[in-house]
Amino acid sequence: MITPLGTGNEKSWNGLIEGRSAVRKITHFNPEGLPCQIAAEVPDFELDRFIEIKEQKKMDRFIHFGLAAATLAMENSGLKVTESNASRIGVIVGAGIGGLSAIEHYNRILLEKGPKRVSPFFIPMTIINLTSGQISIRFGAKGPNSAVATACATGTHSIGDAFKLIQHGVADAMICGGTEAVITPLGIAGFTSMKALSTRNDEPEKASRPFDRDRDGFVMGEGAGVLILEDMEHALNRGAKIYAELIGYGLNSDAYHITSPAPDGEGAARCMESSLKDAGIRPEEVDYINAHGTSTKYGDEIETTAIKKVFGPHAYKLCVSSTKSMIGHLLGASGGVEAAICALGVSLGIVPPTINLENPEAECDLDYVPHKARRLDINIAMSNSFGFGGTNACILFRKFSRV
């Protein structure tokens, strides 16, 4: 994980468990004049640690994050790509928007200095599939290589699609997840114009408040979350450290509106049900849900409604938390980060909290693990991601057992 709480799993996980908000006033540019002047920026990213200086200029910041997260994930996994296994190891790492900062920069260059001053690397810097491309080049992974671009569901779709490729025998291992870096003037202005962002500029640490009646929009975040998925036998044969077992994947569409979720939560509910069916488990077997939980008025209520539809009385026995309360909404990277959070939660037996939940919305009446992390023997965890265009994705993790 590379998140606004820090680079690497330890900093990110510890910050989440401590319930720390990473939201601050924007420093990437001068936000004066914008209604929203706050975001969750990655504070400690050392680009030179991950990418040679001469290569850095060929990539936008979202590729920097994705390549760095993949590097950390590969180091953590101990997986080695060799001549004999290269064609069985693939990459699916997507982004919701892609190289917005490079687009803004080179548009200014074009207008001010002319077309000859536009970098020949401009296109490879900005297109979404170049994160997967750069990762495959770095590690020599010659298996399936693609990129998902499904807005806020990108990371979860990437992991789910990789899961299915392994299940169908197309690959033995996949590097998968999501990355995003659109804390830019145009990015903030665009989402502000939609009235999607919080404008609680005077209290940034309290701005992201999922399920709270005083929420006024989401907070933009940035970073990347990348997982290494492997066929079980492949992982066991090489003695891999296994955090959790991925057991189910659901995906569908609301077919309702370009930005708003279906008001009855029908699409989200069907997606959760689909993941449960794919895993072959009953709703009451789920212990924890990492909610999409963006801190938007309709999104939080509708997701709560959908959870109640799927889980019935068991919904009130579940732990449901939104880690976006601490790191903001990482858009295309959120599903990757939240999948990693679920895997760590299952492995370590800890549920991260939902912070800033001071006055729960009347319709939001589940156990959202307010304020403090909780010890819990999590056998099965679900991660929800719902994106613009009505695209939905859910994945399920189970505690790994050799039995």
Q: Which of these, 4, 40, 15, lies nearest to 25 by C-alpha position?
A: 40
Mean pLDDT of 333-359: 98
| Domain with 123 in it | 2-398
Mean pLDDT of 277-305: 97
* Confidence label for 403 from pLDDT (cuts 50, 70 and 90): low
User: Mean of the per-residue pLDDT values for the chain?
Assistant: 97
Domain count for the chain, please give it: 1
CATH number, residue 323: 3.40.47.10
Catalytic, 371? Answer: no
- The answer as to whether 403 is a domain residue is no
- The answer as to whether 265 is a domain residue is yes
Catalytic, 292? Answer: yes
- The answer as to whether 102 is a domain residue is yes
- The answer as to whether 79 is a domain residue is yes
Catalytic one of 157, 292, 319, 394: 292
> What pLDDT is recorded for position 106?
98
The residue to which tokens 């997986």 are assigned: 79
Catalytic one of 152, 176, 271, 364: 152
> What pLDDT is recorded for position 402?
79
Distance, in Å, from the CA atom of 337 to the CA atom of 322, rounded to the nearest integer, reads 12
Residues 6+ apart with CB under 8 A from 379: 285, 287, 346, 398, 399
117 Ramachandran zone, left/alpha/beta (phi>0; psi -120 to 50): alpha
* Confidence label for 136 from pLDDT (cuts 50, 70 and 90): very high
- The answer as to whether 17 is a domain residue is yes
Catalytic, 314? Answer: no
Region of poorest pLDDT, from 72-86, 178-192, 279-293, 389-403: 389-403
CA-based R_g, the chain, Å: 20
Per-residue pLDDT for 237 more than 70?
yes
Catalytic one of 64, 329, 342, 394: 329
Mean pLDDT of 95-106: 98
CA of 44: how far to CAs of 208, 328, 346, in Å?
A: 21, 17, 27
- The answer as to whether 167 is a domain residue is yes
- The answer as to whether 348 is a domain residue is yes
